[in-house]
Amino acid sequence: MRKVPRELFAPEVGLDEVYHPHRPVVTKRDANGNATSSVSAPQLQAHMLQQAEIGAGMRVLEVGSGGCNAALMAELVGHTGQVTTVDIDPDITDRARRLLDEAGYSRVQVVLADADGGVPEYAPYDGILVTAGAWEIPPAWVDQLAEGGCLLVPLSVLGLSRTIAFEKTGGCLVSRSATLFGFVPLQGAGAHESTRLVLRGGEVSVHLDDVPPAEFPVDPSVLERALDTPRVEVWSGATIGRFEPWATTQMWLATALPGFGRVVVDRERDTGLICPPGRHIAAVGTVSGGTLAYVTTRSTADDQEVEFGVHAFGPNAAELAEVVAGQLRIWARDHRGGPGPQFRVCPSGTPDDRLLPGGRVVDKPRSRISICWPQAVTAARSQNATEVGR
């Protein structure tokens, strides 16, 4: 990290900004002002490079160029390794090539292409590091990864993004670690838009991803009518620390609840109908037929913790709220503080017996993803969470 001069890759900003440990430097935006390329924050870069386990002599592919991260990888692989970086935007690759040359990293290969097809001319790769959010893992990435190699990718599954380190084993990918980071989405063939149901003139929108159409109402008027019914409120007894990560809570609900998604409030149109947790504008929830339920929180006697609750609207609001509350209790009993699930990605058409046993299966056009949770972390934690649930 000290060898690579970050300021050479973000000459438009001052040193305080480019060396801030937790802030990225946006280098390009689209016509709507959305970031399409950036120099990631140092803390994020360091974490991903460590998670990918990049070392001397490795052949590495970076998906999503910028220059700085490729230079860091070049330092890690050394002169006996090879770094290739690819991007779909010629502005980005031209900039990366120029800045890498100026910084003394001319040995890095910069390729202009849609990364959905990988870069076969320099394959196989010991590691592939993706620096843009992906909805699906293209088969080319798996094909061009050496057996036992690592693919590190910010992958969206059931609408939740996790940066997952996968190891290639027998044509499939098995996760070995996962962290919570956000990235700008991939462009090109790998781009994806989630289903978005806009309600009450834009005050509320429901975002659904990886949900078969049979599991949610395509017509937003169904949920419009649900929001006109009295709100049902159920409190679970399950708690979480005010500064405790929600990553496993959200992923557990996503894998346990059909129709899982996010309920988002437009603050400018907010009438107070939807009450997301804390000061957030979004809550995780589920749609079942014409009923909508989402997770919220309230204060407890312990000012360091909050209690999970469920708000629901629609003809089966009471039943759905109890189902969601029950899943929150299971999370608290079995998975709070635990390692989270394991992910396995196999080609589409893979039979069920090659997937993780007993897990949730998410079918995407070119792959099947199975998600499997461990058993209760310890008997002591399980017993404690059961008491909390009572």
- Residues recognised as catalytic: 40
What is the distance of C-alpha 52 from the center of its chain? 16
Helix (H, G, I), strand (E, B) or coil at 203: coil
CA distance 210 to 341: 18
Q: Which residues contact 156 (CB under 8 A, 6 or more apart)?
A: 133, 134, 135, 192, 209
**Cβ of 301: how many Cβ atoms within 10 Å?**
6
HSE, side-chain direction, 13 A CA sphere, residue 293? 32
Q: How far apart are the first and last CA of the chain?
A: 50
**Which amino acid, residue 221?**
S
- Report residue 342 as tokens: 């394991």
- Report residue 112 as tokens: 């202009």
CA distance 377 to 330: 12
CA distance 72 to 64: 14
Contact 343, 152 (CB under 8 A): no
**Cβ of 187: how many Cβ atoms within 10 Å?**
18
What is the distance of C-alpha 253 from the center of its chain? 15
Q: Which residues contact 163 (CB under 8 A, 6 or more apart)?
A: 48, 51, 152, 153, 154, 155, 178, 179, 180, 181, 183
**Cβ of 271: how many Cβ atoms within 10 Å?**
9
**Which amino acid, residue 4?**
V
Closest CA to 157 of 178, 140, 142, 143: 178
